[in-house]
Every structure is written in C-alpha cells, then in structure tokens.
Amino acid sequence: MKTLLLSEPGHFERTQTEEPGAPAAGHATVRIHRVGICGTDLHAFNGRQPFFAYPRILGHELGAEVVAIGDDVQHLAVGDHVAVEPYLECGTCQPCRSGRYNCCESLRVLGVHTDGGMREIIDMPAIKLHRSEELELEQLALVETLGIGAHAVGRAGIQAGEAVLVVGAGPIGLATAQFARLAGGRVHLLELDAGRRGFAEAHFDITASLTPGVDGPATVGDLRQHLGGDLPTCVFDCTGYHASMETSLAFPASGGRLVFVGFQLEKIHFENPEFHRRELSLLASRNSTATEFRRILALMESGEVDTTPWITHRASYDDVVEIFGSWLAPESGVVKAMVSF
C-alpha cells in the first residue's frame, strides 16, 4: 500500500508497506482519505520535534473510511466515515485507571511515538473511531486539531463574559479561540504575524486583536490599555515558544489562570514571589478525549462550529513530497494544509 515515510529530517520517501491482516476483536481497518498537517508534522520534517525518532510515518489528523471490522465491534459498519482519535493509551497506569487517558504514562500518539496515517490502510482500536453520517472527510480530519482547543478551554473553565487572551494564532490557537468564544468568553488575540492576525479576525469571531510592539510581544501595559485598564482573567499560550511562554506568565490578572497549550523542551522560568503574590493558577493541557471528539462532531454537524475557513492549502499523495517543505515558510500563509490519499 502507498506510504509516505519521513526517513530523516527534510526527506520523505514514497514507499510500499504491507497491508494489515484481518482486524482483531475490538479493532477495525480503515482506509485513510485525508491527513491534516499540523505543527508537529512540520517540526518533525524540520528535525525539531520532541519525542520523535526517525524513520517515522507521520499523520495524526485523519479522515478515514471503515473497510473491515473485527468481532465485538458494534458501533461501526463497513463504509462508515470516521474521525480517528490518535491517542493510544495503556489502560492500566494510574491516570488511565482514574479516567485521565490523555495523561497516560506511556501514551503513544500516531505519527509521533508510533507510525501514523500517511498510508492507505491502518488498523485501529475501534473505540478510537468516531463516525459521522454528515461530515466530509476533510472535516473529519480537522476534529483532532479542534479537540486540542476544546480540551484546553475545558481545563480552564471559561465563564460567560470572561476576558480571555489567546497568544498565538496558529491552528491550535485558532481552535482554542473558537471554543473559548463558544464558552462565552470575550476573546482577544496576541499574534506577531500580521497575516495570521488578519485571518483570525476575518474568520474566528475575535473580540479584538492586540498588535505587538516592533521589537516583540506586547507588554503588560499594552495589554491593560487594550482592555481598558484590566488584564485578562484567563490566558492561553498556544505558541510552544520559550520566550512567549515566559512572557505570558505576566499577562493574567491576579487570581487568574494561565494555560500552556503548546509545549517545548526548555525549562520555563518565572519569579516565584510575583507568581505567589498574584495567586495564579498554572495549567497544562494535553491532547483531548473521546468525549470531546463526540462533542466536536455534534457541533460541526449542527453548524455551531464552522470549519469552512480552516483549510488553506491542499496536496495529493503524488505531489506532497515536493510541496511539503514550502509549507514551513511563513510567507506561504499556511493555516491548515490537507493531504489526500
């Protein structure tokens, strides 16, 4: 079967791999039709992705079709179109036993810790497949990205009317902004790139965006002026950049929350007396859950979540090897790229 293998940083190979056999009990075989490309994939291509080893088949944002089901699978039928929940937990560690599967101590994410969906056929636990009779395959491939934002907003407990700041307007920041708005937040945006700011303002119901200073991110004074003297009570840093994450610690109001949606390997430093004085809550947000996948599908089917603006670039299996590298350039304007198989 057709497969794209990232053999080393900057180098894809078109190759053939064997199709899986008949699915085991509780499993299903799916044909991959669409693969969304996210920052994880771009960082892996560039050689800068943590928790990653080469060679690897990328792909964790997947729209697929069920082609075979194993015994004991009741909720799927051959021909169903599904979103793939790409998180494979052990089921036995302490967080798994407490229902926090997204925090599994040995979690394997498709396309990161284990081979993903940039191939025609893949075997999956059937419980990780979420069907929809209404959504297009491209829409189904967006559910995982949206889930990251939905989970982060759920972690924060946004209240109606609350002033929210989202730092970073990449796909994760946009998903976070979308669900913070659904929760009733007044969403403000901080993004260095003017093109991304404009895209967010045009398509994602941002209350207002804050233009950073010439030399970098905005200051607390800029933010107060922007919000009429107050600070946001909840801040989401969706950048995964060290300097931004440290700067974001200054942005929440006293008693507020900061949610790190993005992550990176360097240590994050902050002044403990100031952190203590303001009694901040610092949260991490990791992946999403099956409950969020089902909620997002319902919101997309009802039209409450509009995915029309999301996909800005497309490529096929035949041309993605030549195109992929160009998507790393800021001037490409990529928000979400989609690969068809």
Residue 216 has pLDDT above 90, yes or no: no
Residue 109: band (very low, low, confident or very high) from pLDDT cuts 50, 70, 90:
very high
Residue 36: count of CB within 10 angstroms of its CB: 25
pLDDT top residue among 301 and 224: 301
The CATH superfamily assigned to 2-142+311-340 is Medium-chain alcohol dehydrogenases, catalytic domain (3.90.180.10)
Domain with CATH 3.90.180.10 in the chain: 2-142+311-340
Residue 217 has pLDDT above 90, yes or no: no
Q: Interhelix angle for 143-156 vs 290-302, to 10°?
A: 110
* Average pLDDT of the chain to the nearest whole number: 94
Fill in the DSSP letter of residue 18: P
pLDDT top residue among 123 and 213: 123
Q: Interhelix angle for 143-156 vs 171-182, to 10°?
A: 50
**Over the stretch 2-14, which tens digit does the pLDDT of each residue have?**
999 999 999 999 9
Residue 211 has pLDDT above 90, yes or no: no
Q: Which two tokens stand for residue 113?
A: 């810790």
Q: Which residues pair with 62 in a beta bridge?
A: 35
- At residue 204, the pLDDT reads 85
Q: Where are the strands (E) in the chain, listed by range?
A: 2-8, 11-16, 27-37, 61-69, 81-84, 87-88, 108-109, 121-125, 129-131, 163-167, 186-190, 208-210, 234-237, 257-260, 281-284, 313-316, 337-340
Using DSSP's 3-state secondary structure scheme, residue 147 falls into helix
Residue 113 has pLDDT above 70, yes or no: yes
pLDDT top residue among 224 and 32: 32
The CATH superfamily assigned to 148-284 is NAD(P)-binding Rossmann-like Domain (3.40.50.720)
Domain with CATH 3.40.50.720 in the chain: 148-284
d(CA 256, CA 277): 12
d(CA 37, CA 46): 13
Whether the ω angle into residue 171 lies within 30 degrees of 0, i.e. cis, is no
pLDDT top residue among 319 and 210: 319
Secondary-structure percent of the chain, ordered helix, strand, coil, rounded to 5: 30, 25, 45
Q: Tell me the whole-structure pTM to 2 decimals.
A: 0.94
**Over the stretch 256-274, which tens digit does the pLDDT of each residue have?**
999 999 888 889 999 999 9
Q: Which residues pair with 166 in a beta bridge?
A: 189, 236
- At residue 68, the pLDDT reads 98
Fill in the DSSP letter of residue 115: -
